[in-house]
Structure 1
Amino acid sequence: MQLYSSRPGRAIWQVVGDLVAIGTIVAAIWISQQVREAIASLGAFGTQIEDAGGGFATTLTDAGDALAQVPFVGEGVAQPFRDGAGSADDLAAAGTALRGAVEAMATTVSTALWLLPVLLLVLIWLIPRLRFATRAGASRRLAETPAGRDLLALRALVGQPTAKVLTAAPDPLAALRTADRAGLDALAALELRAAGVRSQTA
């Protein structure tokens, strides 16, 4: 697989594009982690509520159990404390839910921050780079045989600008009809240059 063009100018831009794309991915991942940590830090408030609710519930439960030991009136006096302990447990559960919601939001936002740039880069950078590498590799393999070079010449005749075709072979149709090796090689070299492959005959 040929990753870079044999033409220096185009190869430089390909290298620059690759470096920018890789830098963008690294930056997106780093920023997403920073944002995740910043959002996740808000979950500390939920942890504080959870701890406070749990501690208050324990205190009220212990107080209710102690008051329940008082003869005759113990159960009646202890019941409000036990009810309060239940409310404190609800508060602790709310703190747990808040912490979970914050963690989920942090994960969602951070994932979006790196995933969206990566998907965009796949569309505007990775796919064209893979297309170039595939075309260059296939063209180089075709150039290794006379029949392959003839096919490259035909591709040039069909796909390359007319001015370039006529510059490479003043009478390209005659070159095809008569199997003029020089003309066909010139057309094949034109197609190879367009694919970013160095022509061995040019």
Structure 2
Amino acid sequence: MRLFCSITAGAALAVLAILAGCAAAPPAGPTPAVAEADRPAVPLLRLPPASLGRTLQLQQQITVRYPSPQGEQTRDILALLEADAGHTRLAALAGGQVLARLDWDGSDLRVTRAPWAPAELVPERILSDLQLSLWPVAAIRAALPPGWRLDATPAMRRLLAGDELVAEIRYPDAATTEFVQRRDGYRLTIRTLQGEGARP
């Protein structure tokens, strides 16, 4: 199965937050009464591809908003994601060149990166945010460590650590996903242009 992800000109920085979630710059300070060191790390999901229970072939437009020293930045991306019972695959290109490829088979996470790919690109976080958005609620809940929970309705998912809302995902319509990672401060608006199996 081949997978390609094309990124609009100048959007390489957006890969720091794509779908996922790469680690964006942290917010300016800790949440009230909770020091950064006291907060549990956001879990990295590694759910088997087969637990998705369906196949995905999606072409998507992704608008990424993330904090920077110059203020909030916005980038637009075109992406294609493929997943089935054996593999989850994601690739990213910039300037006509491959930035990174990700292939997860349930045992090994294989990543290839261009020498010029930013160090902040975190494939494990990309995979985790993909699964948080798309995988069945029951599979996600079973994988969360103690102290974490996933609240879910057909139109929304909320990842919480105790009383802290860490991430919120909304599905305002069949073609749109809105992902907000509150702890790290990045936001994704994902619009499916064509494909199969977009809704969880």
What TM-score results when the alignment is normalised by the length of structure 2?
0.21
Structure of greater Rg: 1
TM-score by length of 1: 0.21
Report which of the two has the higher share of strand: 2
Structure with greater helix percent: 1
